[in-house]
Amino acid sequence: MTTTANAPANAEKRYTVHRADLPLSCPTPEMALWNSHPRVYLPIEDDPGHQAQCPYCGAIYQLVD
């Protein structure tokens, strides 16, 4: 069975993510990919501030735990 994403892709510019959400990709699995950019994985754990920015849409992701 195929799961359909319910959330629109790139609807916000800032997202909060948790370690359970890793590996982090933009758009996330919950977002509709069909109307967005290609999926890209973001190395959020490597950043000293635990923050990553998508090179396609500019969305900023912050790891909170």
Domain boundaries, given as residue ranges, for the chain: 14-63
Three-state DSSP at 21 gives helix
pLDDT band at residue 50, thresholds of 50, 70 and 90?
very high
> What is the model's pTM?
0.78
Amino acid residing at 26: C
Model confidence at 55: pLDDT above 60: yes
Average pLDDT, stretch 23-28? 94
The rounded distance, in Å, linking the Cα atoms of 61 and 59 is 7
Does the pLDDT at position 2 exceed 50? no
